[in-house]
Structure 1
Amino acid sequence: MHLFNRVKFRTPESVELEFTLAGIGNRAWALIIDYHILAFILLLLYIIFAVILVQLSDFWVTALGSNLGLWMIAIFFITTFAIYTGYFVFFETLWQGQTLGKRWAKIRVIRDDGRPIGLPQAALRGLLRPLDEFLYIGAFFIMLGRNEKRLGDFAAGTVVIQDQIPTGTATLTISEQANLVYEELNQIADFSALLPDDFAVIREYLQRRNGMSPRAKSSLSLKLSQQVQAIINLEQIPIGVAPDVFLEAIYLAYKQTEY
């Protein structure tokens, strides 16, 4: 297995995106960080729970009787599982594939078509995590599989990639001409037809374009601009406007629809 495997995705719009897989080392580092945070959260909650239990001990004994011990064990396991699973589901949904540990390790979960994950994918990964960690089954799948997937990734249709963007592409720059083109397009185009997933592809391209070869950049920007043109029912791209500038204007337009 190579230290840095790469994977290519083709979106429903026939746009090809390439990413570097996170690797077992980065994923393990992220998991260690997440487990330390989880341990702190669980410890805090158990202390609070113990204090409440002591304060209401007479009530619990009266209500639950001789089954008090069994109830406490059941509550302990249910609470632990809910917090353990909920932590990963909550943050991966909120931060589009990242937990606190993944942010620190600069890795991210995405769908098999290169799009951001949502609640269904995060929930499937979270529910299958205990199975993946039983006898390190998930680690074996990651190390031996071509796309470095654990069982949760197979079920959810996801993959974990490196999120670090090369220097020079991290900042999304918008040209002055794009602002003028946006004003023009705002009068003649229907931006409401753009979906969040369409916007995610455009943003990904604009962030990574400076790291592409001139030929790949030219080809991809042209293909993207033509597809966006069809989505927003635009007869033709304004004369003299380069595909990159057109996509920047579309980026500005979609950002306006979010407010």
Structure 2
Amino acid sequence: MFLLNRINIQTPESVNLEFTLAGIGNRVYALMFDYLVLGLIQLSLVVVWALGSLFLADILNNALGTSVRLQQWLFAILGLLLFAIYVGYFVWFEVFWQGQTPGKRRVQIRVIRDDGRPCGLQQSTLRALLRPVDDVLFIGAFLITLTSREKRLGDWVAGTLVIQEDRAIAEANFTISESGKLLKNQVVERANLSALLPDDFAIIREYLQRRNQLTIEARSKISRQLASQVKGAIIQEPLNKKVSAEEFLEAVYLAYQEQRSRP
């Protein structure tokens, strides 16, 4: 297996994207960091729960004499809460941090769907529920190491991949129109570019690179579809004038690249 395993994915917009898979080393490092954070959260809960349980048990024991049964119920509830936090930690971060947990963000890797789209609630939940099987029995490590797409059991069931983040920005080898360059400043002022995922940027870049190879009909259809999706995701205030789909995509490309290149 190559040190950097790369794959190609065709998006629903019929655009080919190339990704570098995260690899077993990055994934283990990210998981260890996540377990450290998760352990601190769970330990805090255990301490608070233990103090509260002792106080409650003492009161009820004096009143009702039911300390043993109460302790059993409290331990059972605590176990459920710890498991809920375990699952919820990964689900919450992967859904609201665009496929990343604190550990994944630290090593710059991210979860996506098999078609290149962002990881959703369903996919993240399936991955989290199967994580104990992958981790405790070491099934995940074996599957990541031995399979071409480096998927653990949770990835196979959820239909996800874990990729590196460093493949989205690339130098343009296409011409940007003057109107697209002029529109860039408006996009910077009126758009929330942080809502644009690296995958979205890669799709825009791929389209701009390949547009001259498309038929007029396909070029018009794809540019309008992409522009509509991007506008819905990032535009907070209407632009001053009506622009074509390609001008808008060019301006977004320039604005996003400029933002990512800032120190």
1:143–1:63 Cα change, 3 Å: farther
Distance 1:164 1:182 in 2: 24
Query: How far has the Cα of 1:70 moved from its partner?
Result: 2.5
* Alignment TM-score, normalising by the size of structure 1: 0.72
The letter of the residue matching 1:54 is L
1:231 to 210, 216, 225: 225
Aligned residue for 2:10?
Answer: 10
Q: Which runs of 5+ in 1 are unaligned?
A: 184-195, 235-240, 253-259
1:69–1:163 Cα change, 3 Å: same
Distance 1:24 1:221 in 2: 39
Aligned residue for 1:188?
Answer: none
1:133–1:175 Cα change, 3 Å: farther
* Alignment TM-score, normalising by the size of structure 2: 0.71
1:121 to 120, 123, 128: 123
Q: Secondary structure at the match of 2:100?
A: coil
> Between the two proteins, what is the percent identity of the paired residues?
47
1:218 to 184, 209, 213: 209
Does the 8 A contact of 1:88 with 1:99 survive in 2?
Answer: yes
Does the 8 A contact of 2:168 with 2:198 survive in 1?
Answer: no
Does the 8 A contact of 1:110 with 1:158 survive in 2?
Answer: yes
Aligned residue for 2:239?
Answer: none
Matches within 5 A, 1:158-169: 158-165=160-167
Deviates more, 1:59-68 or 1:107-116: 59-68
Aligned residue for 1:178?
Answer: 180
Query: How far has the Cα of 1:79 moved from its partner?
Result: 1.4
Distance 1:8 1:144 in 2: 19
Distance 1:23 1:7 in 2: 12
Distance 1:119 1:246 in 2: 31
- Taking only aligned residues, the RMSD between alpha carbons, in angstroms, comes to 3.6
Matches within 5 A, 1:1-259: 1-61=1-61, 62=64, 65-165=67-167, 177-178=179-180, 180=182, 202-205=200-203, 209=205, 218-219=209-210, 226-231=220-225, 245-249=247-251
Distance 2:200 2:212 in 1: 9
Does the 8 A contact of 2:34 with 2:101 survive in 1?
Answer: yes
1:22–1:37 Cα change, 3 Å: same
Does the 8 A contact of 1:5 with 1:20 survive in 2?
Answer: yes
Query: How far has the Cα of 1:233 moved from its partner?
Result: 10
Does the 8 A contact of 1:31 with 1:101 survive in 2?
Answer: yes
Aligned residue for 1:193?
Answer: none
The letter of the residue matching 1:93 is V
Q: Which runs of 5+ in 2 are unaligned?
A: 186-194, 229-243, 255-263
Q: Secondary structure at the match of 1:56?
A: helix
Does the 8 A contact of 1:225 with 1:246 survive in 2?
Answer: no
Does the 8 A contact of 1:202 with 1:251 survive in 2?
Answer: no
